[in-house]
Amino acid sequence: MLDTTSLKQYLMQCERDGKGIDLEFIALIDDIAGACREIHLGVNHGAILGVLGSAGSENVQGETQKKLDVLSNDYFIKHCQWGGQLAGMASEEEDDVYEIPAKYPRGKYLMYFDPLDGSSNIDVNITVGSIFSIVKAPEGVTDPKLPDYLIKGTEQVCGGFCLYGPSTMMVITIGDGVHGFTLHPGTGEFLLTNPNMKIPEDTKEFAVNMSNHRFWEEPVQRYVDECLKGTSGTREKDFNMRWVASMVAEVYRILTRGGIFMYPKDNKDPNKPGKLRLMYEANPMSYIVEQAGGLSTTGRERILEVQPDDIHQRVPVILGSKNEVQRVIDYHK
Ligand code: AHM
Ligand code: MG
């Protein structure tokens, strides 16, 4: 029999059990769930709604925005700005931090989000997702400016993502393990289907964009080359490889059956220390992975301890099954 605990019921129980969240936070997650439901509808209806294709604009990182990138960003803002839980927001699709309009009350939380991650996959009908991270704004700050947002990942109150795949799922942590909720397409409720997700410590599966091999640093090349040699190399076992080019899909797979995911440092563009963004991609995913028993690193530093210097800062990301990530860290030493 399916456990029909809803996302809201799970959070209310956590509040009653003194797990460090309050009603304001629960209302915020409810608003995020509302945004994700609308994005789910957009992603699912696709061409029928005319939402596929390019928006004809670029974001601050010089990437072409898809129509659904822009729409998803609008949904997040529409659902989350009015409730009085947020002091401010930062989005992959907004150049600067987003100020809550003066007509709405302001709250104590800051939210960072990537409204539609992996959006190069939209037009080819492959899984995409939304990623979010919530922290408390610095004490007494109601009108946060850029420096107020530069908070380390260790301070997160919540890390989460919503995956728009064969089924739509919300995965979150509030520091009490990782829990997965499946969207009931009829009632619109997120129902607890995957409680206490745990990443197996060992794996035979790696995920990396192999076309960047020649640009990587030696420790990552060594690790991947050893995986490729399989039973005929020092690892003495064969590995499998996956690359969806959608971080939400890769992290969900790793939460389900283990694996290692890497978007490591490369020398393709010396101005970019990695591809993925710290505040709204790497931090929430790292919090989730650590809470599920895995590790997450730049290769040299725990991602959650990286001191941010910009909301759109990029970092190398290596995360997943503990023993494999530890091996990559050791190769960097
Ligand atoms: P995006 O935020 O512009 O969608 O980029 C992030 C995505 C990740 O989901 C994924 O891991 C990576 O980019 C794939 O990059 P590549 O196309 O270089 O393989
Ligand atoms: Mg992204």
Mean pLDDT of the residues in the chain: 95
CA atoms of 42 and 7, how far apart (whole Å): 22
pTM score, whole prediction = 0.96
Looking at the predicted structure, is the pLDDT value of residue 203 above 70?
yes
Looking at the predicted structure, is the pLDDT value of residue 169 above 80?
yes
CA atoms of 176 and 179, how far apart (whole Å): 9
Looking at the predicted structure, is the pLDDT value of residue 204 above 70?
yes
User: What's the Cα-to-Cα distance from 281 to each of 129, 176, 185, 255, 285, rounded to whole Å?
Assistant: 11, 20, 26, 16, 6
Please give the full DSSP string across 166-192, using - where no structure is assigned. Answer: SSEEEEEESSS-EEEEEE-TTT--EEE
Q: Give the confidence band of 5 by pLDDT, cuts at 50, 70, 90.
A: very high
Cβ proximity of 161 and 194 under 8 Å: no
Nearest protein Cα to ligand 1, atom 2: 117
Of the two residues 112 and 66, the one the predictor is more confident about is 112
- Sheet of 178-183, strands arranged across: 98-99, 86-91, 109-117, 128-136, 158-164, 168-173, 178-183, 190-194
Q: Which H or E run contains 140? A: none
Looking at the predicted structure, is the pLDDT value of residue 1 above 60?
no
User: What's the Cα-to-Cα distance from 168 to each of 182, 253, 282, 284, rounded to whole Å?
Assistant: 6, 14, 21, 18
- Ligand with the closest atom to the CA of 68: 1
What mean pLDDT is predicted for residues 297-325? Answer: 98
What mean pLDDT is predicted for residues 222-232? Answer: 98
Give the helix ranges, DSSP H, for the chain.
Answer: 7-16, 23-45, 67-80, 146-149, 218-229, 247-257, 283-291, 322-332
Token output for 17? 């059990």
pLDDT at 47: 86
What percent of the chain clears pLDDT 70, i.e. is strictly above it?
A: 99
Looking at the predicted structure, is the pLDDT value of residue 61 above 80?
no
Q: Give the confidence band of 60 by pLDDT, cuts at 50, 70, 90.
A: confident
What mean pLDDT is predicted for residues 183-198? Answer: 96
CA atoms of 270 and 280, how far apart (whole Å): 22
Q: Which H or E run contains 156? A: none
DSSP 302: B
What mean pLDDT is predicted for residues 141-162? Answer: 97
Atom number in ligand 1 closest to CA 276: 6
Which residues, including other chains, have CB under 8 Å from residue 71's CB and lie 6 or more apart?
39, 42, 51
Residue whose C-alpha is closest to residue 196's, from 319, 261, 288, 324: 288
Q: Is 43 in the pocket of ligand 1 (CB under 6 A)?
A: no
Token output for 57? 């604009």
pLDDT at 2: 61
pLDDT at 11: 98
Q: Distance from the CA of 94 to the center of ligand 2, in angstroms?
A: 12
Type of residue found at 126? I
Q: Is 183 in the pocket of ligand 1 (CB under 6 A)?
A: no
Atom number in ligand 1 closest to CA 118: 4
Q: Is 114 in the pocket of ligand 1 (CB under 6 A)?
A: yes
Q: Is 176 in the pocket of ligand 1 (CB under 6 A)?
A: no
Cβ proximity of 177 and 196 under 8 Å: yes
Torsion of CA 289, 294, 298, 303, to 10 degrees: 50
Q: On the CB side of 260, how many CA atoms lie within 13 Å of its CA?
A: 29
CA atoms of 159 and 31, how far apart (whole Å): 15
pLDDT at 3: 62
Which residues, including other chains, have CB under 8 Å from residue 63's CB and lie 6 or more apart?
none
Mind listing the pLDDT tens digit for each residue in 67-103? Answer: 899 999 999 999 999 999 999 999 999 999 999 999 9
What mean pLDDT is predicted for residues 203-226? Answer: 97
What mean pLDDT is predicted for residues 254-261? Answer: 98
Name the residue ranges covered by the structural domains of the chain: 7-194, 205-332
What are residue 64's DSSP bridge partners? 58
Pick the CATH number of 7-194 from 2.30.110.10, 3.30.540.10, 2.170.130.10, 3.40.50.10190: 3.30.540.10
Q: Give the confidence band of 271 by pLDDT, cuts at 50, 70, 90.
A: confident
pLDDT at 62: 77
Give CATH for domain 205-332. Answer: 3.40.190.80
Looking at the predicted structure, is the pLDDT value of residue 293 above 70?
yes
pLDDT at 58: 80
Instruction: Compute φ and ψ for 51, nearest 5 degrees.
Output: -100, 5
Instruction: Compute φ and ψ for 267, nearest 5 degrees.
Output: -105, 25
First vs last C-alpha separation in the chain: 49
Of the two residues 63 and 272, the one the predictor is more confident about is 272
Mind listing the pLDDT tens digit for each residue in 48-59? Answer: 888 788 878 787
Cβ proximity of 320 and 295 under 8 Å: yes
Mind listing the pLDDT tens digit for each residue in 6-26? Answer: 999 999 999 999 999 999 999
Nearest protein Cα to ligand 1, atom 19: 245
Q: Is 263 in the pocket of ligand 1 (CB under 6 A)?
A: yes
Of the two residues 4 and 247, the one the predictor is more confident about is 247
Q: Distance from the CA of 31 to the center of ligand 2, in angstroms?
A: 20
